[in-house]
Amino acid sequence: MAGILGTGIQDGLLLKPIHYPWAMDLYNQAVANTWFPNEIQLGQDLADWKKMSDEERHAIEFLMSYFNPNELLVNKALAFGVYPYVNAAECHLYLAKQMWEEANHCMAFEYVLETFPIDREKAYAAHVDEPTMARKEEFEMKAIQRMTEQQLDISTTEGKKDFVRNLIAYNIILEGIWFYSGFMVALSIRQRNLLRNFGSLIDWVVRDESLHLKFGINLILTTLEENEDLQTEEFAAEIKQTILDAVEMEEEYNNAMLPKGILGLNADYVNQYVKYLTDRRLEELGFEAHYKVSNPAKWMAAANDTLELVNFFESTNTSYEVNSGKS
């Protein structure tokens, strides 16, 4: 096999020998992590919902309005912009599992919309009606249109650059920064002992997304390593600037989500977390940190790195793995 990029039609048919062990490892981990939304008893959080302030409910509704369509947007990016241009069968296996996970997340957020008294019509319309959401979506749409409306020639330098640009837009910015700041806001409610089952559902989504992020970073770095024509200072500067521009969009979005702030959380706090996350993503891609700010939400590392958070209302533990003998 010439490399990780290609048409993926003739070269991606045989699994062995495995050329990219990281992709196979991530596939096996993703399969072990399989979960279903109805394993969580969301209805038991309804009493908490009634206790919450209008600002807190607004924040959750805002997040659901954003997450719901964007999980399916990621699937379009994978189907049109990634899967057709990757040669390795082990990458195809992982991408197929990731696409199922995005569908599962969509169903999980539908479960939230069905369980909590959220106006579905308003939530569905928000990604168009709310300017800060619409701006973020327009940014992502441009990346998808580049992949779908202009067939990539993956053998050319410009085609390979567009492939990497799409991965930056979806894996790094959408899944690695924008989603994570939303997860932090959602899980901050649980820090006050509210919506603990909803918190468990978000834990499981985060666990999937952490693998999506690892796959995306590995795919970007492998593509850059295998293609010397992409290793220019100009392209590196473009990638970094794209990521920094996305931070400004996220700051506007967080100001709209938390106009007044809620107990222990305001837009400035979330935006510092966004900058901290962005520095981590930049470092993972080989850049230096840009913002050099501390992590204001150190509890998030404990929440998502250990993944040993037991749901208080049921015996399900978010660290369980399918076929592992653990429960």
Place of tokens 């992949």: 147
> CA angle 114-116-121, nearest 5°?
60
Residue 222 CA to residue 267 CA, distance in Å, equals: 36
Q: Which residues are catalytic?
A: 111
**Alpha carbon separation from 247 to 46, 69, 219, 253 (Å, rounded):** 33, 20, 23, 10
> CA angle 282-170-204, nearest 5°?
90
Three-class secondary structure assignment of 79-126? HHHHHHHECCHHHHHHHHHHHHHHHHHHHHHHHHHHHCCCCHHHHHHH
